[in-house]
Every structure is written in structure tokens, then in C-alpha cells.
Structure 1
Amino acid sequence: MKTITTAEFDRKFDDGEDVSEYFDWANARRVNWEHELVELELPKEELAELDAEVARLGTSRERLVTKWVRERLQGKFAAE
């Protein structure tokens, strides 16, 4: 496996070049986990705040909420 800097990798990837030679395919693994759709009701004001954070981070509502839930669960509710 070859190595390059992050900047070089990003440039190659952004330019559409094949970057597979920079991955350690021998140790790669696919994580299969099931998804379940859930609904979340929020007041409009909170939804506006969520959307502002989504825009600031350049992500999606789903990804951000998923990240926050994962962080909270990994912390085992330590703040309580």
C-alpha cells in the first residue's frame, strides 16, 4: 500500500483519479447494520436552529441528528 499526504489524496480524489492503491484492502471490512426509520417532531424554532447548524457544518439533518444521538449514547448519558 502506497502512502501520500492528505492534501495529495484529496486532490487526486477531487480530480477523479483512482485512489484505491492508497487503501489497505486486506484489512478492510464492511459493517452491516440494520436501519430503522424514526420520526422526530420538533417545534419550528428548534427545527430552524437545527437547520442553521446543518448549514454551518455542511451536512444533512439526518447525519447531524444521527451523530448527536451516537455521541450521547457513547457517553452513556454521563451528563445526567
Structure 2
Amino acid sequence: MKATEFERRFDDGEDMTGALDWEHARRPNIESKRVNVDFPAWVVTGLDQQARRLGISRQALIKIWIAERLT
């Protein structure tokens, strides 16, 4: 099926999950890459306080804040 046909059927509200190849599906630019960053102790303390307040991990907080700044 061509992309235009897929889009038309999707826009018409048709369930297109059967037309997708989930085995080979991928999300571009989502792969992770490890980065090490050293912070002063007071920064880590502040990050931990904010993360606890929000109920998330320090790592999740850092990811969210950096992503917000980049968008």
C-alpha cells in the first residue's frame, strides 16, 4: 500500500494496525547514548530534592529538563 493510501485510510478513522510491520518498527532518534557529567554536590542535592518532590528519579528529572531546554 502506498503512503497516500495509508494516510487517507488512517485519516478516515480506519484501524491501520494490521497494515504495520511491528517486527521492524523503529523510532528514529530515540536510541540512548550514555553521557557522564560531574556536578557539584549542591547541584546533586537540589536535583534530588526536585526529583523527590515530583516523584521521579534524578535521571528522569535531568532528561526532562535538558529536553525542555533543547526544544
TM-score range, shorter-chain basis? 0.5 to 0.7
For residue 69 of structure 2, give the secondary structure of its aligned residue in structure 1.
helix
Q: Are 1:37 and 2:34 counterparts? A: yes
Instruction: Give the aligned length.
Output: 49
**TM-score between both structures, scaled by the size of structure 1:** 0.53
Long gaps (5+) in structure 1: 1-25, 75-80
- 1:60 paired residue number: 57
Shift of 1:31: 5.8
**TM-score between both structures, scaled by the size of structure 2:** 0.59
Higher Rg of the two aligned structures: 2
CA distance in 1, matches of 2:67, 2:33: 15
The Cα RMSD (Å) is: 2.2
Go from structure 1 to structure 2 and tell me whether the alpha carbon gap of 1:36 and 1:56 turns closer, same or farther (over 3 Å shift): same
CA distance in 2, matches of 1:50, 1:73: 19
Higher helix share: 2
Long gaps (5+) in structure 2: 1-14
- 2:67 paired residue number: 70
CA distance in 2, matches of 1:59, 1:41: 20
